[in-house]
Amino acid sequence: MTALLLILTPLIAAGLALAVPSNRWRPWVVPAGAACHAALTLTVVSGLLSPENAGWLRIDAQSRYFLTFISLYFLILASYVPGYLGNNGHRSNRVLCACLLASLSSMTAVIVAHHLGLMWIAVEATTLATAPCVYFEHNPRALEATWKYLVICSVGIALALLGTFCLAYASLHSGLHSLMFEDLMANATELSAPWLRVAFVFVLVGYGTKMGLAPMHTWLPDAHGESPAVVSALLSGALLNCAFLGILRVYLIICAAGQAAAIQPLLIFIGLLSMTVAAVSICRQRDIKRLVAYSSVEHMGMLAFGLGVGGIGVTASLLHVIHNGLCKGVLFLSAGNIYHAYGTRETERLQGVLRRVPVSGACFVAGFFAITGAPGFGPFVSEIMMLGGAFASGRFIAGCLFIALLFLVFVGMGHTVIGFALGTAPVAAGTDPMPVREHLCQTLPVLVALALVMLLGFYTPSFLSDYIHDAVAMAPFAGVDGRP
């Protein structure tokens, strides 16, 4: 019931957003709905409201972890929406507001659904709910991005359905007749191993498409580049992680079945491939939002790499979900502010960003250092843990490649970012060279996200490490200790 309430609250808010007639007041429904969802989430995870864990919708350690993050992250993004849409007042925002809330509802469904078939339905629903958001600008480029997003992700998720069916067949084969995550985990050793492996390959390709793993990532830079800043941040920080949860659940089942060794090289390979593709594309990227989008491909590759490493790597991947998500929020939202001030996303035409938009510019630069793994920020912690896991498990070549790719991304991204951050703002005819006035409603969410990234660089709250510990403890082989 509690889980159902969590799904329904944003859905009701979405209905409300459709009903509000005023274009000016409608955006406020989004933060209101997000706040209700966050309040409900906090009462559930703090234990005030204990969910009954029966039926298809359950709230276990993994659900708590992802739910806490996604609910708070969405609240940060939602508080950015009214200010952002105030700047784009000419276009109706009815569909955007409703679809943002609907996507929160479907993401919640992905997290609490413990029936893997139901989870598949929810993942497909997230694609359908976010596609209209990508098309918000209604221009040919946005249209192309939406088409690619819809077709490539639908096909990918269809393959994940095939994988889910293979898993169902493995369960049928052992006489289990169930697709519940808990049942599969409990009886994992009896499941048919060939079917499990086939299932994992399809699920990895399928949800991996949605997650943006190379070589199925082709939709990602387009969709992230062409959609509004807040939608890019949502896709990158929350939606990709939901797809990751889909892979994680099946991964845990495979580990419990004792088949981990068969799939780990595949995960490491696809992780390093994604990082390589991203590093090469970042080095010659001339569009600020696509730059950040390729960084998403890189970090999704890291999540896969962490799972492939196993042990402490799984813990690191889970931790990296939050670190990467918050950084993407900082980067995309501040990139949106920079785009608004300059009217262009081409890095060659951006000059003196730190002087023109001091707060957003500084946040973007800080976000760049955070995401590339500079010490003192969250991602540094999880990346070091991943690396430690790789070396501890004796994967020296993979570990060295990981370091080399991190370095390449740092140089490539740094070259571009420092290039447009410094210098003097261009004095074009009729434009004001003075700093652009930045509204608090557009900078505060960025600053909050940045503060959280910095906090996580020094301190991981005990409740988070407890959730991670419980989640990792499910896979008997995977955790050395599991506690970060």
d(CA 169, CA 108): 27
Q: DSSP code of 477?
A: T
395 binds other proteins (CB under 8 A): no
196 binds other proteins (CB under 8 A): no
Secondary structure class of 381 (helix, strand, coil): helix
Please name every residue paired with 287 in a beta bridge, in sequence order, or none if there are none. Answer: 346
165 binds other proteins (CB under 8 A): yes
The token duo for 204 is 């990895």
The residue among 61 and 128 lying less far from other proteins, judged by its C-beta, is 128
455 binds other proteins (CB under 8 A): no
Where does this chain touch other proteins (CB under 8 A) — which range of 115-123, 250-258, 316-324, 410-418? Answer: 115-123
422 binds other proteins (CB under 8 A): no
The residue among 64 and 115 lying less far from other proteins, judged by its C-beta, is 115
Where does this chain touch other proteins (CB under 8 A) — which range of 187-195, 363-371, 405-413, 441-449? Answer: 187-195
The residue among 137 and 470 lying less far from other proteins, judged by its C-beta, is 137
User: Least distance (Å) from other proteins to the CB of residue 199?
Assistant: 11
Q: Which of 111, 131, 214, 288 binds other proteins (CB under 8 A)?
A: 131
Please name every residue paired with 115 in a beta bridge, in sequence order, or none if there are none. Answer: 180
Please name every residue paired with 113 in a beta bridge, in sequence order, or none if there are none. Answer: 57
Q: Which of 35, 49, 158, 455 binds other proteins (CB under 8 A)?
A: 158
User: Least distance (Å) from other proteins to the CB of residue 117?
Assistant: 4
195 binds other proteins (CB under 8 A): yes
The residue among 165 and 368 lying less far from other proteins, judged by its C-beta, is 165
224 binds other proteins (CB under 8 A): no
198 binds other proteins (CB under 8 A): yes
Number of H helices, E strands in the chain: 20, 0
Backbone angles phi, psi at 346, to 5 degrees: -75, 125
Please name every residue paired with 180 in a beta bridge, in sequence order, or none if there are none. Answer: 115
54 binds other proteins (CB under 8 A): no
8 A C-beta contact, residue 315 and residue 483: yes
Q: What one-character-per-residue DSSP string does 177-215 give?
A: ---BHHHHHHTGGGS-HHHHHHHHHHHHHHHHHHHT-TT
d(CA 54, CA 56): 7
User: Least distance (Å) from other proteins to the CB of residue 10?
Assistant: 18
Q: Which of 194, 265, 426, 433 binds other proteins (CB under 8 A)?
A: 194
Q: Which of 74, 80, 135, 377 binds other proteins (CB under 8 A)?
A: 135
Backbone angles phi, psi at 174, to 5 degrees: -95, 10
177 binds other proteins (CB under 8 A): yes
The token duo for 50 is 């204990």
The residue among 93 and 130 lying less far from other proteins, judged by its C-beta, is 130
d(CA 192, CA 173): 7
8 A C-beta contact, residue 339 and residue 418: no
Query: 237 CB contacts (<8 Å, ≥6 apart)?
Result: 73, 77, 324, 325, 326, 328, 329, 332
8 A C-beta contact, residue 482 and residue 315: yes
The token duo for 467 is 């959730």
Q: Which of 57, 40, 226 is nearest to 130 (CA)?
A: 226
283 binds other proteins (CB under 8 A): no
Q: Which of 26, 64, 148, 323 binds other proteins (CB under 8 A)?
A: 148
186 binds other proteins (CB under 8 A): no
Please state, in angstroms and as integers, the Cα–Cα distance from residue 119 to each residue in 107, 128, 153, 235, 364, following that order. 10, 14, 15, 18, 35
The residue among 162 and 473 lying less far from other proteins, judged by its C-beta, is 162
Q: Would you tell me which residues interact with other proteins (CB under 8 A)?
A: 115, 117-118, 120-121, 124-125, 127-128, 131-132, 135, 140-141, 143-148, 150-151, 154-155, 158-159, 161-162, 165-166, 168-169, 171-173, 176-179, 192, 194-195, 198, 221-222, 225-226, 281, 284-285
